[in-house]
Structure 1
């Protein structure tokens, strides 16, 4: 502020000096000045002018350059802002694409996992059904073998019993043919009649009877026993 006041004082002195100068002859607008004194005042004014005023003067003189620089800086700022905006948009798009790809990968992984689970379940069911079918087939074979064995055993037993009954009937018939009908006396067991006859006849009579020629005894049929009877499994 002091420098500015000094400048104003110098300007006031210049104005006062001009007012005190004598007008030129034959002119109302011209005056006669002392060149050295006026230059001294102007030099003092230049000396007292602050550096800021000269700086502002240079800035005003170079205002076109300043405007150009400001415009360039503004354009640079706008360009940087546009670049940052594009980068943000690009990053957002990249993130969106990354999210989409990640979701797609997750869906594919889930689908593959579900397919593997389904295949494993199907294979397990097939193996289970195959095992059940195989076990049922084995049990059916065992059941058939047991049924056939039971039937075969029953048939063999029935055949064996029938054969034994046939042999028994043959033995009974053979024994019955050995004893006369008069000794049976209605006894169903011919051996019992034969035994009673032997007990009732004295020994001397039995000896005499033995010396008497006997009639030929009827031929007793032989027992035809098949080999399978003794080789029964």
Structure 2
């Protein structure tokens, strides 16, 4: 299949322009918002402590925030509270991290319960994305976690935090995730999506959203410096 998306405007509309560095400042996030608007990205994605954000009037820019990030090793009640506060402070979308250890142990009912707790704090039309850390899972685990996410009412399944040593998004994982969720949810590719070709490949595999920190360089068709940087 050949993707029809070949221009930067189309690709930009897929991007969550992301800044999740622990050392990020309010000035950094303000600059992120300005750059996102200039580039035409779908959203900005930030840490919850950076909320609320000031989005200029008339700007068509969503605000996404992470939850239980990056380890996922938080009690569900804490994740739910964090998500609820983020929504109250203006977030349009919440990207939560599952307890990866639960998935590795085959406790998929617990994974589903964790997601359900956060879903209850992110009522529609607010969007819930579920980060599964696909590089740390087997194919069978990816399928089972995606099924749990759909059963819990997630809007998206998302490949990665970008902080796990096992790696980030792959075309294989995105394709498998999309095959699993079908039309029941969407797929976000994140972690290591650094070039225009990477973006096209992820979209062709089934991603309808991309998590990107080096958006300007990606849209210019270049690979940003500092390629090992997690976002």
Q: When the two structures are superposed, what TM-score results if normalisation uses the length of structure 1?
A: 0.15
Which structure has the larger Rg? 1
Query: Counting strand residues as a fraction of each chain, which structure ranks higher?
Result: 2
Q: Which has the higher contact order (CA 8 A, sep 6+)?
A: 2
